[in-house]
Amino acid sequence: MSRRHRRRSAAWVGLAVLAIPLARVEGQERQIVVANDNRVPAGVLKDGVLELRMELREGIWYPEGEDGEAIPVYAFAEAGRPLQVPSPLVRVPEGTTIEVSLRNTLSVPATVHGLHERPGDAAGSIQIEPGETRSVRFPAGEAGTYLYSARTPDGERGNRRVVDALVGGAFVVDEPGASTDDRIFVLERWNGPTRTAMNGKSWPFTERLTVAAGEPVRWRIVNASDLSHPMHLHGLHFQVDGVGDGERFRRYGPEERPLVFTQNVEIGETFEMTWVPEEPGRWLFHCHRLPHMRLPVELDPADVLVADDHEHAHEDPLYAGMGGMIMEITVTGEHEPTPEEVWRSARKLRLAIGQRVEGGELYHLTLHDPVLAASVPRGRMNPGLTGPPIVLQQGEPVEIAVENRTDAATAVHWHGMELESYYDGVPTVGGIGDTRAPSIEPGGTFVARMIPPKAGTFIYHTHWHDARQLTGGVHGALIVVPQGEARDPETDLEFLFSQSPNDPFGAAMLLMNGVPQPSTLNLETGRTYRFRFMNITPSVANLRVSLREHGEPVTWRLVAKDAIDVAPSLAVPQRADLQISVGETYDFEFRAAKPGQLTLEGIQPNDTRRVVQTLIFGGG
């Protein structure tokens, strides 16, 4: 057992016997903050009343290994127990009365939010002075997934000495008699090398989950951080059962629950999800904002070995910097490989990734597709920083040979596609047992196999966590046409939003189909068009996309989200202005009733980045 593993084990043993583990940092002994996996509710529940005693203290938190970066933090703990990140889980059945005693041991005052009845008012808070103890009593309120948190003047002043952005935890109210066989994952963010975590740890030190194929999995996601997070599940869609804003929670009815492969959760928001694993193998669940899943510091191979808790280390422990808000899930079950004769007769494509300039950061992608190469109108071909659209048929076996003609390793992920884990595009993770998907080394080729079960709009993109590849254009639209149908490229139009590096445009620009200034698109009045939107920017989670006439949004009809047709109640005309987060796809139908000029706009609301395409509708 390594020194790091022994230290971790000692910390958890200390928790079991109610001892408080200590660390020596800068010549002083401080309490170690332990990761809270949100399996055990805090307090004592008796006769319909939860009694909970908590303290706000200062400690040292290790988001990676226990010998990794040591971060001074403020954190909550149950009285006499170790500090926890995230904060202790408050979980009670509906109808419970909650009695909380809060003691502030810090030298600064604290403001506690969220410890009140639900639905509630975000303005309600508890002020606790240094050394003071405050008690509150309130009914839990309506069933749902909520959160609570605390902030101090140190955090408001951006004090680098200590972090209070991690003083947040889950507050769950269960329906009477409801099963509690679920998992709760709290999302955290701070200023530091990795910057993001789930349940108190950053990849590759996050918990490794194991689930059985065919068995429903229920999760609750709580965003206790200060940024939004588009959460993406590899390998299949998941069902969103309900959403909340921290103060109120809405559980969807059976016909309302959307199926998605990416769900954005804003600051203070929560959602509940259910998914049924189907394909055995290893998969990822992660935030799709690139800075939230990159690790710009090197890892020792032993670190990954300890975190993985297996008899091997990953082939490349750096894995191009993958780290942060990521969880690995192993799906167990019997794997039935597709017969080789299917692949011998499959449709075969070749996607080549090259560099525009040797040693440069700009890439060009070319696709050899004998079936559809001649069907793409010349006006839709785009030499910008993105790849050509790949169009597949639902239910048709296909092999895509990805050639790496660059001077760096890469990998291509088929975002939202249901396929075997080995072909998912995540090196060292994808696969079953000892079989692990390789990276695509310079000069190498990797053949991905898939039989698309669903029709809709997907994305292919690099899963090598190097921003140069993503902004350099290693991505593209992935469209699956319904079985037995043909795609009309004249009316079926894809619009992929991405971001460039500083060069060749002089600044990091927002791009549409690979360029900052798309050429005018001439369309016909009275004809129905399908617009497919994809956001594969590194981190523009609040991208606004709109279709406007004289500066005002027109009306379009929502058709699909994440390759799933929306419920009839949502497939209605609506204002043509929406937010598309990273990794999401949307399909809309639009029909111009009269000739005129419209603008399709993509805007990053936080700054001046904007990309606009003019659409001219002539006579039908």
What's the per-residue H, E or C state across 408-471?
CCECEEEECCCCCHHHCCCCCCCCCCCCCCCCECCCCEEEEEECCCCCEEEEEEECCCCHHHHH
pLDDT band at 5 (very low <50, low <70, confident <90, very high): very low
Shared-domain flag, residues 349 and 463: yes
Poorest-pLDDT segment among 109-113, 118-122, 138-142, 216-220: 118-122
Q: Is residue 534 part of a domain?
A: yes
Strands 28-35 and 84-85, how do they pair?
Answer: parallel
Q: Is residue 99 part of a domain?
A: yes
Given this model, what pLDDT does residue 410 score? 94
Q: Is residue 399 part of a domain?
A: yes
Measured distance CA(264)–CA(580) in Å, rounded: 9
Asked whether residue 313 carries a pLDDT value surpassing 90, the answer given is no
Given this model, what pLDDT does residue 318 score? 42
Q: Is residue 195 part of a domain?
A: no
Q: Is residue 169 part of a domain?
A: yes
Query: At which of 487, 511, 527 does a domain end?
Result: 487
Asked whether residue 432 carries a pLDDT value surpassing 80, the answer given is yes
Measured distance CA(141)–CA(580) in Å, rounded: 33
Asked whether residue 295 carries a pLDDT value surpassing 60, the answer given is no
Given this model, what pLDDT does residue 154 score? 81
Peptide bond preceding 442 in cis form (omega within 30 of 0)? no
Given this model, what pLDDT does residue 193 score? 60
Contact 83, 76 (CB under 8 A): yes
Given this model, what pLDDT does residue 512 score? 97
Q: Is residue 201 part of a domain?
A: no
Burial of 251 (0-12, 13-18, 19+ CB in 10 A): middle
Shared-domain flag, residues 31 and 177: yes
Dihedral pair phi/psi, residue 389, rounded to 5°: -65, 140
Given this model, what pLDDT does residue 278 score? 95
Q: Is residue 191 part of a domain?
A: no
- Could you tell me which residue, 324 or 319, shows the higher pLDDT? 324
Measured distance CA(588)–CA(594) in Å, rounded: 19
Which amino acid would we find at residue 28? Q
Shared-domain flag, residues 619 and 592: yes
Shared-domain flag, residues 415 and 483: yes
Shared-domain flag, residues 309 and 389: no
Measured distance CA(464)–CA(292) in Å, rounded: 14
Q: What is the CATH number of the domain that holds 256?
A: 2.60.40.420
Q: In this structure, what token pair is assigned to residue 314?
A: 């990953």
Burial of 65 (0-12, 13-18, 19+ CB in 10 A): buried
Q: In this structure, what token pair is assigned to residue 249?
A: 């929670």
In the sheet with 363-368, reading across from the earlier edge strand, the strands are: 363-368, 347-355, 398-405, 445-450
- Per-range mean pLDDT, top range of 238-247, 494-503, 604-613: 238-247
Shared-domain flag, residues 146 and 20: yes
Strands 217-223 and 270-275, how do they pair?
Answer: antiparallel
Q: Is 248 helix (H, G, I), strand (E, B) or coil?
A: coil
Chain centroid to CA 391: how far? 25
CA angle, 531 then 348 then 432, to 5°: 95
Burial of 597 (0-12, 13-18, 19+ CB in 10 A): exposed
Peptide bond preceding 504 in cis form (omega within 30 of 0)? yes
Q: How many CA atoms lie within 13 A of 85 on its CB side?
A: 34
Query: At which of 441, 457, 487 does a domain end?
Result: 487
Question: What is the percent of the chain where pLDDT is above 70?
Answer: 86
Question: What is the percent of the chain where pLDDT is above 90?
Answer: 74
Domain range enclosing 230: 208-332
In this structure, the number of other CB atoms found within 10 A of the CB of residue 44 comes to 11
Shared-domain flag, residues 262 and 328: yes
Q: In this structure, what token pair is assigned to residue 62?
A: 């290790």
Q: Please state, rounded to an integer, the average pLDDT across all residues of the chain.
A: 88
Shared-domain flag, residues 32 and 154: yes
Overall average pLDDT of the 546-551 stretch: 96
Q: Where are the beta strands (DSSP E) in 324-379?
A: 326-332, 347-355, 363-368
Backbone dihedral region for residue 277 (phi beyond 0: left; psi -120 to 50: alpha; all else: beta): beta
The tens digit of pLDDT for each residue in 35-73 reads 999 999 999 999 999 999 999 999 999 998 877 888 899
Shared-domain flag, residues 306 and 161: no
| 529: nearest Cα among 578, 495, 570, 575 | 495
Q: How far is CA 610 from CA 100, 346, 381, 546, in A?
A: 48, 41, 22, 12
Which amino acid would we find at residue 133? T
Query: At which of 487, 506, 533 does a domain end?
Result: 487
Measured distance CA(329)–CA(276) in Å, rounded: 12
The tens digit of pLDDT for each residue in 213-264 reads 999 999 999 999 999 999 999 999 999 999 999 999 999 998 899 999 999 9
Overall average pLDDT of the 461-467 stretch: 87
Given this model, what pLDDT does residue 503 score? 81
pLDDT band at 373 (very low <50, low <70, confident <90, very high): low
pLDDT band at 506 (very low <50, low <70, confident <90, very high): confident
Partners of 449 in the β-ladder = 399
Shared-domain flag, residues 290 and 430: no
Dihedral pair phi/psi, residue 468, rounded to 5°: -65, -35
Given this model, what pLDDT does residue 359 score? 60
List, as one string, the DSSP characters of 194-244: S-EEETTB-BTSSPEEEEETTS-EEEEEEE-SSS-EEEEESSS-EEEEEEE
Peptide bond preceding 86 in cis form (omega within 30 of 0)? yes
Shared-domain flag, residues 483 and 496: no
Overall average pLDDT of the 534-555 stretch: 96
Asked whether residue 434 carries a pLDDT value surpassing 70, the answer given is yes
Given this model, what pLDDT does residue 321 score? 58
Q: Is residue 200 part of a domain?
A: no
CA angle, 589 then 590 then 595, to 5°: 165
Shared-domain flag, residues 20 and 165: yes
What is the count of structural domains for the chain? Answer: 4
Peptide bond preceding 204 in cis form (omega within 30 of 0)? yes
Overall average pLDDT of the 492-498 stretch: 97
Asked whether residue 382 carries a pLDDT value surpassing 80, the answer given is no
- Could you tell me which residue, 599 or 304, shows the higher pLDDT? 599
Poorest-pLDDT segment among 97-106, 150-159, 385-394, 410-419: 150-159
pLDDT band at 306 (very low <50, low <70, confident <90, very high): very low
Measured distance CA(620)–CA(495) in Å, rounded: 23
Given this model, what pLDDT does residue 158 score? 54
